[in-house]
Structure 1
């Protein structure tokens, strides 16, 4: 027979096990609910983005075609996946007069990206200096007219609402002239391709520092159920 002490210890172990199980279950449920809320919010935001794109396209605004192209590039629109076809969407928007599309096409050329967009990644020449210089020659006058490119985003952690966000494109360029750009040879040696250039750094950094964004466009206030 179990002693009284053994019974008490066994009971305490069972109690702790039950309590821990309840806590873990509660945490799991809370996490699943949070994930479900995020998924629901994401779905709602995508629906608002698509509604905004359609509204712009219906009134002939090339910004709608640009946002459609960028949505496919970012991956939340899945109509077109081939980089060449996505690039063609940007070219179509640019031909209709989208400054944003022209900016990202020039940036794509400078950074030798397979498709325009990828605004979450710092741009660099990727060793193709001819394309870098050609792209920058097209990009500079565009940014002197409009220093930013738009993107449909969900704001930030503190205010996760669907909106038109703005990216200062010159901020993607001047760090290369500050730091220089190297590529690695087949022998494993690092070769300087773009030297540091304070004068060129200043040109692009001034555009970045002086870039003024339009007022925020909160899409959830435009498209209410």
Structure 2
């Protein structure tokens, strides 16, 4: 968990001026934690490979370049990480609450995946036209939407969402 949280802290910009901001280096940090068995890191790595986002929830602009992304491999890491737990840990902090509150909530990563299969993903060509890099796929959308619903209904996700409300 420590390696995962270190990678996440860098991706989110929590470390400050000495943080690692190179998305490829952050991907490598997630990879190291995933290789050491962190399901949270497997999920974060999967999301980063799938759509480039450097942090599973709120990123400060750390995105993996498109040529480094690999949707298929990203989905494989997501599936692997979700085998042990359907969710990933997301630290939350709210300084605006009457009492500063810090929580570790658990979120479903599938919430970021099913819309990609609903809408598809495109890239802009040099001539201004668009090409699908991921075509809409109703069957895969349903699969990931159902994974999301089951995870959102899990006690872990429901409990932490309730306990960390402000």
Compute the TM-score of the two structures, normalised by the length of structure 1: 0.57
Give SS of 2:32's match: helix
The one of 68, 75, 91 aligned to 2:31: 91
TM superposition shift of 1:216: 2.9
TM superposition shift of 1:141: 3.5
Deviations 1:169-206 (A, max 9, x none): 01101101111222221111122332221100011111
User: Which residue is 2:48 aligned to?
Assistant: 108
Structure scoring higher RCO (CA < 8 A, sep ≥ 6) equals 2
TM superposition shift of 1:94: 2.5
Q: Which has the higher mean CA deviation after the structures are superposed, 201-210 or 180-189?
A: 180-189
Asked if residue 163 in structure 1 is aligned to residue 107 in structure 2, the reply is no
Compute the TM-score of the two structures, normalised by the length of structure 2: 0.74
Give SS of 2:116's match: helix
Distance in 2 between residues matched to 1:136 and 1:199, nearest whole Å: 15
Deviations 1:18-53 (A, max 9, x none): xxxxxxxxxxxxxxxxxxxxxxxxxxxxxxxxxxxx
Deviations 1:94-117 (A, max 9, x none): 33321101111122112245xx41
Q: Which has the higher mean CA deviation after the structures are superposed, 77-86 or 168-177?
A: 77-86
Give SS of 1:81's match: coil
User: Which residue is 1:200 aligned to?
Assistant: 140
TM superposition shift of 1:147: 1.7
In structure 2, runs of 5+ residues without a counterpart are: 60-64
- Name whichever structure is richer in helix by fraction: 1
User: Which residue is 2:160 aligned to?
Assistant: 216
Q: Which has the larger radius of gyration?
A: 1
In the alignment, is the contact (CA less than 8 A) between 1:143 and 1:207 conserved in 2?
no
Q: 1:191 to 1:89 in 2, by over 3 A?
A: closer
Give SS of 1:154's match: strand
In the alignment, is the contact (CA less than 8 A) between 2:44 and 2:56 conserved in 1?
no
Distance in 1 between residues matched to 2:38 and 2:77, nearest whole Å: 15
Aligned length: 153
